[in-house]
Amino acid sequence: MSDINRPVRVRFAPSPTGPLHIGGVRTALYNYLFARQNGGTMILRIEDTDSQRFVPGAEDYINEALAWLGIEIDEGVREGGPFGPYRQSERRDIYRRHVQMLLDAGKAYYAFDTPEELEAARAATPNFQYDASTRMGMRNSLSLPTEEVEKMIADGQKYVVRFKIDPGRDVQVHDRIRGLVTIKSDILDDKVLYKSADDLPTYHLANIVDDHLMEVSHVIRGEEWLPSAPLHVLLYEAFGWSDTMPEFVHLPLLLKPDGKGKLSKRDGDRLGFPVFPLLWNDPKSGETSSGYRESGYIPQAVVNFLALLGWNPGDDTEVMSMNELIAKFSLDHCSRSGAKFAFEKGKWFNHVYLQEIPSEKLVELFLPVMEANGVAPDAFSKEYISKALEIVKSRANFVPELWEHAHFFFRAPLSYDAKAVKKRWDSTMGDTMTRLAELLESQPDFSGKVLEPAVMEWIKSNGLHMGNVMNAFRLTVVGECKGPHMFEITDLLGRDETLRRIRAGVDCIHPADEPDI
Ligand code: GLU
């Protein structure tokens, strides 16, 4: 069992079979938090032994996604380390040697059954399982004479190596979150550990051998791997490694936001949120899937959001930086039950983190958005852009959304909101706005602080209606009747631009019941 004094070494062990799912990112994050908290080591191991499911680009995607989120790897394919190689396809010799160890110890055996023979066995016996009750009726090194087995191997016949599971045993898995889980060995089948056809081990063998050789202390992974754990316990035992078996921690599933069942890509498509950290172009289908990064999420917000899907700090603190998460994280506060993927909360976290981005950095992030909307990035000073963003950022959840709240700082209205015109612009308004423009022109100080009381006073002394005047004013400057405080806007736009817009409004806006001339 695990030793308290053992150095913490954890691994994130994805298979490069496609883009890393957001649930995988959460697994990586929890491993990372646990490693950092305990001064341990975070390993990234690429489990690419399933040649059928290998997808080019997936490994780079994993590295890029983790780097974007600030999940640092200590040992891995890129980082190197004393226990490499860290890509399983480069460890064939190691696996071959370990398969041989099990064969020599009589804990595993060769099996020569063809796919057709296996199919026939399944058809003949309901719920067929390759195990102690059926193996002697199959073609393997336990049921066939030794000479025949040796000849088949020497002739290069394809075979697999199966794990020989003894029936009638209680297999115990100690899981840090779930406690003791006991199952009967009879329900397990003699799992394939190695295939001669591609000279590669299966997931189970490679995973156990590597966890042992890489001195992994804790296996923190998704709950979907819990059913494999009893087999893994038996494999450790078969190798004689039970004493150094890692502690198992199976994290709760991520559930659909609106109901029961596992979160899937379809939920994201249906409800409009990404289930992948980065944009992914599938090399086979050509299909594109959206990513958190490209959707405008801030990596720290994604980290904070994911950290709370399956763990809580024991109080109601929600906003936590990576360092705070590292300090507070605890496996004992991980929940057993699935965590609903509350993506709206993810947007809220993004809002919170957006407010904390320093102006300079925010300007930099906003420049491409301006450009995409047809405004040359150098048309305005950084200082001006920064002030505009400062005024509107509390209204936005995402960087691209800043445009819809700030566009009027960079472009005079191209049109005027029809509903607002109908409601706010009667036949007297052109004249009132012309007079307002004159007042603004005559003000010695155009700063909002001075302008606001002057305009208020003017409205009052002329017996005008505050709401009507201010909304019409806003309509000329912004193009619609919403937005931040009017005098914050004029403060930044400055006198010339404000006057130009009011006068353009007077020329272009006509009461809804009057025809355009
Ligand atoms: N390669 C497995 C995966 O894709 C690893 C599971 C484990 O962590 O043991 O998630």
What span, in angstroms and rounded, lies between the C-alpha atoms of 6 and 247? 11
Cα 359-365-370 angle, rounded to 5 deg: 105
* Closest C-alpha among 115, 59, 479 to residue 283: 59
What is the pLDDT at residue 354? Answer: 97
What is the pLDDT at residue 5? Answer: 78
Cα 298-301-307 angle, rounded to 5 deg: 140
> Is residue 262 annotated as part of the catalytic site, yes or no?
no
What span, in angstroms and rounded, lies between the C-alpha atoms of 384 and 410? 10
Which atom of ligand 1 is found nearest the CA of 47?
1
Ligand 1 pocket by Cβ (under 6 Å): 13-15, 47, 203, 207, 221, 225
Report strand pairing: 160-163 vs 170-175.
unpaired
Measured N-to-C along each axis, helices 495-508 and 486-493 cross at an angle, to the nearest 10 degrees, of 110
What is the pLDDT at residue 515? Answer: 54
Of the residues 10, 11, 12, 15, which should be mutated to test ligand 1's pocket, given the most ligand atoms within 8 Å of the CB? 15
Measured N-to-C along each axis, helices 299-307 and 58-69 cross at an angle, to the nearest 10 degrees, of 90
3-class SS letters over 164-176:
CCCCCCEEEEEEC
Report strand pairing: 200-201 vs 192-195.
antiparallel
- What are the residue ranges in the chain where pLDDT is below 70? 1-4, 513-517
CB 232 within 8 A of CB 183: no
Name the residue at shortest CA distance from atom 5 of ligand 1.
Answer: 13
3-state secondary structure of 502: helix
Q: Which residues pair with 6 in a beta bridge?
A: none
Q: pLDDT per residue over 407-446, tens digit each?
A: 999 999 999 999 999 999 999 999 999 999 999 999 999 9
Choose, from 195, 265, 382, 387, the residue flagged as catalytic: 265
Rounded to the nearest 5°, which phi and psi values hold at 222?
Answer: -70, 155
Cα 389-395-399 angle, rounded to 5 deg: 55
CB 160 within 8 A of CB 109: no
Distance between the two ends of the chain, CA-based, in angstroms?
A: 88
What is the pLDDT at residue 3? Answer: 59
What span, in angstroms and rounded, lies between the C-alpha atoms of 194 and 159? 9
What span, in angstroms and rounded, lies between the C-alpha atoms of 224 and 338? 11
Residue 12 Cα to ligand 1 middle (Å): 8
Q: Which residues contact 77 (CB under 8 A, 6 or more apart)?
A: 44, 46, 59, 63, 84, 85, 86, 87
Residue 13 Cα to ligand 1 middle (Å): 5
What is the pLDDT at residue 512? Answer: 72
3-class SS letters over 307-368:
HCCCECCCCCCCCCCHHHHHHHCCHHHECCCCEECCHHHHHHHHHHHHHHCCHHHHHHHHHH
For the chain, which domains are there? Answer: 9-76+208-255 (3.40.50.620), 94-195 (3.90.800.10), 265-356 (1.10.1160.10), 358-405 (1.10.8), 412-517 (1.10.10.350)
What span, in angstroms and rounded, lies between the C-alpha atoms of 269 and 274? 8
Alpha carbons within 13 A on the beta-carbon side of 481: 15
CB 7 within 8 A of CB 246: no
What is the pLDDT at residue 516? Answer: 52
Name the residue at shortest CA distance from atom 3 of ligand 1.
Answer: 14
Q: pLDDT per residue over 319-373, tens digit each?
A: 999 999 999 999 999 999 999 999 999 999 999 999 999 989 999 999 999 999 9
What span, in angstroms and rounded, lies between the C-alpha atoms of 114 and 118? 6
3-state secondary structure of 76: strand
Measured N-to-C along each axis, helices 22-37 and 58-69 cross at an angle, to the nearest 10 degrees, of 50
What span, in angstroms and rounded, lies between the C-alpha atoms of 128 and 138? 12
Supply the DSSP symbol for 189: -
* Closest C-alpha among 200, 198, 203, 192 to residue 111: 192
Residue 292 Cα to ligand 1 middle (Å): 22
Residue 62 Cα to ligand 1 middle (Å): 13
What is the pLDDT at residue 234? Answer: 98
Cα 339-342-348 angle, rounded to 5 deg: 135
